[in-house]
Structure 1
Amino acid sequence: MYSIKQVQLISGLPASTLRYYEKEGILPEISRDGGGRRSYTEEQMDWLRFVMAMKDTGMTIEEIKTYLELALKGEDTIQERRDFLVLHKEKVEDQMAQTQNNMEKIIQKIAFYDLVVMGKSIY
């Protein structure tokens, strides 16, 4: 079991974000110890890591809730969950391609400035 302080250290997320995720229902069933402090299981930590990965790749809280609702319905939704993640993966791939395209433009501009700084004529 992990305290909220330990989860903060492990995940890098502030306690306010953890409480928000709990309030929004994307960190469900967080138990409390005798003193009323949150206590996280290893399974909840794994789920939190998944949530963080999805957030880092642009998935919204609402989309994460939708995915969780499907997961909570059990094995009957495996195909739906797979399809959901395939669509998200495609969005991420599109974003990565656009980022790579933008990176190439940045590299070209840096190369242009390198020539100018070295005193090379560009015209």
Structure 2
Amino acid sequence: MKIKAVSEQYDIPADTLRYWERVGAIPAVHRDSAGYRDYDEEDLGWVSFAKCMRGAGVSIEYLIEYITLYPGGERTHQARKDLLTEQLEVIKRHLDEVQETYDRISEKVAHYDDHVEGAAKKLTR
């Protein structure tokens, strides 16, 4: 699959895909005989992984570190798992913060009309 199709399928600018590859946030993409990027299923898996991680707020530096370790196979298994565990904890903290914000706004919305009505009554006194 060519870069334009990957860009459209994953809603990622082609320049971003090139950047991710250039800095090592995804492994080098397979090339066709003319030297053009030709994404295979493995490449698409890495694009999907990177998009998911970036969407969760994971840094490019983290992705680079993970991708650098990946070719080490079993030897780097624990280091990669540790990185994922660390990121999971960061995302969990963020999720908790978002949930707290959601709950506060939800509470405000649920009682908004009562608050507005109460404020209006105070103004008319």
Letter in 2 for 1:115: D
State TM-score, norm by structure 1. 0.87
* In structure 1, distance between residues paired with 2:52 and 2:108: 32
Q: CA deviation at 1:31?
A: 3.0
In structure 1, stretches of 5+ residues that fail to align are none
Q: Which has the higher helix share?
A: 2
* In structure 1, distance between residues paired with 2:9 and 2:42: 14
State TM-score, norm by structure 2. 0.86
Where does residue 45 of structure 2 map in the other structure? 46
- Please, what is the CA RMSD of the aligned residues? 1.7
Q: Kindly provide the CA deviation profile for residues 82-109 of structure 1, in whole angstroms up to 9, marking residues without a partner as x.
A: 1111111111111111110011111122
* In structure 2, distance between residues paired with 1:115 and 1:99: 25
Q: CA deviation at 1:114?
A: 2.0
Q: Is the 2:25–2:64 contact (alpha carbons within 8 Å) kept by the matching residues of 1?
A: yes
* In structure 2, distance between residues paired with 1:37 and 1:67: 25
Where does residue 92 of structure 1 map in the other structure? 91
Tell me whether 1:20 sits opposite 2:19 in the alignment: yes
* Same amino acid, percent of matched pairs: 35
Q: Which moved more, 1:31-40 or 1:69-78?
A: 31-40
Where does residue 63 of structure 1 map in the other structure? 62
Q: Which moved more, 1:29-38 or 1:102-111?
A: 29-38
* In structure 1, distance between residues paired with 2:90 and 2:96: 10
Letter in 1 for 2:83: F
Q: CA deviation at 1:112?
A: 3.4
Q: Which moved more, 1:24-33 or 1:96-105?
A: 24-33
Q: CA deviation at 1:48?
A: 1.0
Q: Kindly provide the CA deviation profile for residues 6-35 of structure 1, in whole angstroms up to 9, marking residues without a partner as x.
A: 101211101111111111122322233244
In structure 2, stretches of 5+ residues that fail to align are none
Where does residue 30 of structure 1 map in the other structure? 29
Aligned residue pairs, count: 120
